[in-house]
Chains A and B, each alone.
Chain A
Amino acid sequence: GQQLNQSPQSMFIQEGEDVSMNCTSSSIFNTWLWYKQDPGEGPVLLIALYKAGELTSNGRLTAQFGITRKDSFLNISASIPSDVGIYFCAGRTNAGKSTFGDGTTLTVKP
């Protein structure tokens, strides 16, 4: 099956720093979705991307759909303590099958 490689696995940063994480695959996806999950909660959708090359922002978050359709990145600018959590990417095919990355655990030190 399709696999996503999400990196880094974890990040420890200082408040105010920018963060970047990405997902790559050997397969092509038609949709990329980025989620944040807090402990004991379900993932919350942050950004959805539908076209190769698409760059979309949501507040301090920016995500891009790679030109090759095999990768995507998520940037968080000027991190704050409430950005702490696990971030997941998900790639979806035309058949509606979603594949999730293993997550990036973000820790922000005040």
Chain B
Amino acid sequence: GAVVSQHPSWVICKSGTSVKIECRSLDFQATTMFWYRQFPKQSLMLMATSNEGSKATYEQGVEKDKFLINHASLTLSTLTVTSAHPEDSSFYICSAQRETGGNEKLFFGSGTQLSVL
């Protein structure tokens, strides 16, 4: 399967600081990437759709000024959690969409566990 690299895997930060998470598609180009948040023992909650070269599309209830998304190239999308607070602590996962012959598949990164103190 395709490889999506997400970095860092773990991050601990102080309240009020900003954290950047990177998502890279290593062996394919992805015009579309997605960012999710997952709470323990729950399903993935889509936060936003990241489109290469254009603004991200945020889901209802997700603050775009708090969760900044940049998709500057076909292989890299970044999520920056600005002025993080303890309630932002969560598992964040990205996915990249690969199209092959008209069929689409979503491949996920390994996730980032964010802990805000």
In the complex the two chains form, is B108's CB within 8 Å of A102's CB?
no
Asked if A92 is an interface residue, CB under 8 A from chain B, the answer is yes
Stretch in A14-22, A33-41, A66-74, A76-84 with 4+ CB within 8 Å of B: A33-41
- How near does chain A come to B11, taking the closest CB pair, in angstroms? 14
Chain A nearest Cβ from B80, distance in angstroms = 19
| Residues 2-18 (chain A) with a chain B CB within 8 angstroms | none
- Known A-B contacts A88-B44, A100-B43, A100-B44; the reply to A42 vs B93 at CB < 8 A is yes
State whether B111 touches A90 (Cβ < 8 A).
Answer: no
Interface residues on B, range: 20 to 34
Collect the chain A residues with CB atoms within 8 Å of residue B108's CB: 35, 42-45
Q: Is A63 an interface residue (CB 8 A)?
A: no
CB-CB < 8 A to A33: which residues of B?
A: 105-106
- Asked if residues A96 and B32 are in contact (CB atoms below 8 Å), the reply is yes
Is residue B110 within 8 Å, beta carbon to beta carbon, of the partner chain?
Answer: yes
B-chain residues with CB within 8 Å of residue A102 when the two chains form the complex:
42-43
Residues of B within 8 A of A43 (CB): 44, 93, 108
Evaluate contact between A45 and B110: CB separation under 8 angstroms.
no
B49: A residues at CB distance < 8 A: 96
Q: Report the bound CA distance from A102 to B40 in whole Å.
A: 12
A106 within 8 A of B: no
Judge whether A41 and B110 touch: CB under 8 Å: yes
Residues in chain A near residue B109, CB distance under 8 A: 42
Which chain A residues lie closer than 8 Å to B89 at the CB level? none
A101 and B43 in contact (CB under 8 A), knowing A40-B111, A42-B110? yes
Q: Are B106 and A103 in contact (CB under 8 A)?
A: no
Contact B46 A98 (CB under 8 A): yes
Q: Is B113 an interface residue when CB atoms closer than 8 A count as contact?
A: yes
B5 CB to closest chain A CB, in angstroms?
A: 10
Identify the closest chain A residue to B46 (Cβ): A98
The CB with the most chain A CB atoms within 10 A, among B46, B106, B113, is that of B106
Cross-chain contact A45 with B6 (CB below 8 angstroms): no
> Cβ of A50: which chain B residues have Cβ within 8 Å of it?
103
